[in-house]
């Protein structure tokens, strides 16, 4: 039996799960989404993700045709139907079918898609040895253009940065904002460690406020590691003792090289490793996933 995908109230076989070519989600990237994980049968930080999804939707004046509770149940049902206890969950809300013009008020029927599957962003050895990343020319979208807090179906800004990284032979890009401060990676938030303190760009640097970012900040605080939000420049990255990225799909992954410069001693740092362990305990994925 193949994977089933929830499409606006129905469970469809993966190969038959589709939406209209007139859906503005496709025609204009008009919609919002969330990436969520389930570990050991439990949806990790479910309410935080649902809240962020509803805020993203409100931000683009899109009404999700389900209540938060109904959406939660639909996610649980999709996991159950597929018999999954460890999964990557993609919830997508599209504006729905409309005319061949931008006007979203001509799209009366937003669509809800829930995919439950697996994801592997980076090879296993990169979690052990660390990633090499570069800063790229494409700047993160400015607040004044489209708030990076909206997790919209418009990811071209991030995709441009990803292309620049891949063309340079690395798997991930650090995006700066239009003022030249560090914002985030294409689908992950960024942390550095300097003199024992964890530092990450503040929301006003133009980031998606990652749920994993918050989990890591909370774990650090519980472990008495000092944490602060502060604007970072490329210089701060180059002189960092450690660096790592956080995200639902990526989880916590060390960075050991930025713009061809070695970070620390070129291996994942001790505080990074400590947080990686704490994160694994928090998600219990140690015991249930054999990567
Ligand atoms: N920044 C961007 C641009 C993202 O798309 C994501 C999610 N993939 C993140 C940061 C990390 O957010 P979270 O920890 O909530 O997955």
Of 117, 146, 169, which residue sits at a domain end? 117
Residues 197-214 have a mean pLDDT of: 98
Q: Angle 250-253-254 (CA atoms, 0-180°, nearest 5)?
A: 160
Q: Are residues 178 and 252 in the same domain?
A: yes
Helix (H, G, I), strand (E, B) or coil at 212: helix
Q: Are residues 52 and 166 in the same domain?
A: no
Q: Are residues 106 and 148 in the same domain?
A: no
Distance from residue 91's CA to the centre of ligand 1 (Å): 14
Distance from residue 142's CA to the centre of ligand 1 (Å): 17
Distance from residue 237's CA to the centre of ligand 1 (Å): 20
Q: Tally the domains of the chain.
A: 2
Residues 174-193 have a mean pLDDT of: 98
Q: Are residues 97 and 190 in the same domain?
A: no
CATH number, domain containing residue 255 = 3.20.10.10
CA-wise closest residue to 107 among 33, 34, 20:
20
Q: Are residues 11 and 110 in the same domain?
A: yes
* pLDDT greater than 50 at residue 291: no
Residues 47-69 have a mean pLDDT of: 98
Alpha helix ranges (H) inside 42-83: 46-59, 68-81
According to DSSP, the β-strands at 197-200 and 227-229 are parallel
Of 76, 100, 117, which residue sits at a domain end? 117
Q: By the 8 A CB rule, do 267 and 129 touch?
A: yes
Reported as a single tens digit per residue, the pLDDT across 154-175 is 999 999 999 999 999 999 999 9
Distance from residue 191's CA to the centre of ligand 1 (Å): 13
Instruction: Please tell me the predicted confidence (pLDDT) of residue 287.
Output: 41
Domain range enclosing 61: 4-117
Query: From CA 17, how far away is CA 26, in angstroms rounded?
Result: 15
Q: Are residues 142 and 248 in the same domain?
A: yes
Q: Are residues 104 and 173 in the same domain?
A: no
Name the residue with the closest Cα to ligand 1, atom 13. Answer: 210
Q: Are residues 282 and 176 in the same domain?
A: yes
How does the average pLDDT of the chain come out, rounded? Answer: 96
Residues 35-61 have a mean pLDDT of: 97
Query: From CA 49, how far away is CA 159, in angstroms rounded?
Result: 22
Instruction: Please tell me the predicted confidence (pLDDT) of residue 131.
Output: 97
Instruction: Please tell me the predicted confidence (pLDDT) of residue 285.
Output: 52
Reported as a single tens digit per residue, the pLDDT across 70-115 is 999 999 999 999 999 999 999 999 999 999 999 999 999 999 999 9
% of the chain beyond a pLDDT of 70: 97
Q: By the 8 A CB rule, do 235 and 206 touch?
A: no
CATH number, domain containing residue 62 = 3.30.470.10
Spell out which residues line ligand 1, taking CB within 6 angstroms. Answer: 35, 158, 184, 187-189, 208, 210-213, 246-249
Name the residue with the closest Cα to ligand 1, atom 3. Answer: 187
Reported as a single tens digit per residue, the pLDDT across 188-199 is 999 999 999 999
Active-site amino acid positions: 151
State the DSSP H helix or E strand holding residue 219, giving kind and residue range, or none if neither: helix 211-222
Q: Are residues 205 and 95 in the same domain?
A: no
Ligand 1 atom closest to 158 (CA): 3
Buried b (16+ CB within 10 A) or exposed e, 69-83: eebbebbeebbeebe
């Amino acid at each position: 039996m193949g994977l089933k995908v929830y499409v606006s109230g129905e469970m469809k076989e993966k190969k038959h799960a589709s939406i209209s070519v007139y859906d503005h989600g496709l025609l204009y990237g008009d919609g919002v989404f969330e990436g969520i994980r389930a570990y050991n049968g439990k949806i990790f930080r479910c309410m935080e993700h649902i809240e962020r999804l509803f805020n993203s939707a409100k931000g683009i004046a899109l009404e999700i045709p389900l209540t938060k509770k109904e959406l939660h149940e639909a996610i649980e049902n999709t996991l159950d139907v597929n018999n999954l206890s460890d999964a990557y969950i993609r919830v997508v809300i599209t504006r729905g079918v409309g005319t061949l013009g931008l006007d979203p008020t001509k799209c009366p029927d937003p669509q809800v898609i829930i995919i439950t599957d697996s994801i592997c962003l980076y090879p296993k050895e990169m979690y052990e040895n660390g990633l090499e990343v570069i800063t790229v020319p494409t700047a993160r979208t400015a607040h004044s253009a489209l708030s990076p807090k909206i997790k919209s179906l418009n990811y071209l800004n991030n995709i441009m940065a990803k292309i620049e990284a891949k063309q340079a032979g690395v798997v991930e890009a650090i995006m700066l904002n239009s003022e030249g401060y560090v914002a985030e990676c294409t689908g992950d938030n960024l942390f550095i460690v300097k003199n024992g303190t964890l530092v990450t760009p503040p929301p006003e640097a133009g980031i998606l406020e990652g749920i994993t970012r918050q989990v890591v900040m909370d774990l650090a605080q519980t472990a008495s590691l000092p944490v602060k939000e502060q604007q970072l420049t490329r210089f701060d990255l180059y002189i960092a003792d450690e660096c790592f990225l956080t995200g639902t799909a990526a989880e916590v992954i060390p960075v050991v090289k930025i713009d061809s410069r070695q970070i620390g001693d070129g291996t994942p740092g001790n505080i990074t490793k400590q947080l990686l362990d704490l994160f694994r305990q928090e998600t219990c994925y140690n015991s249930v996933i054999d990567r």
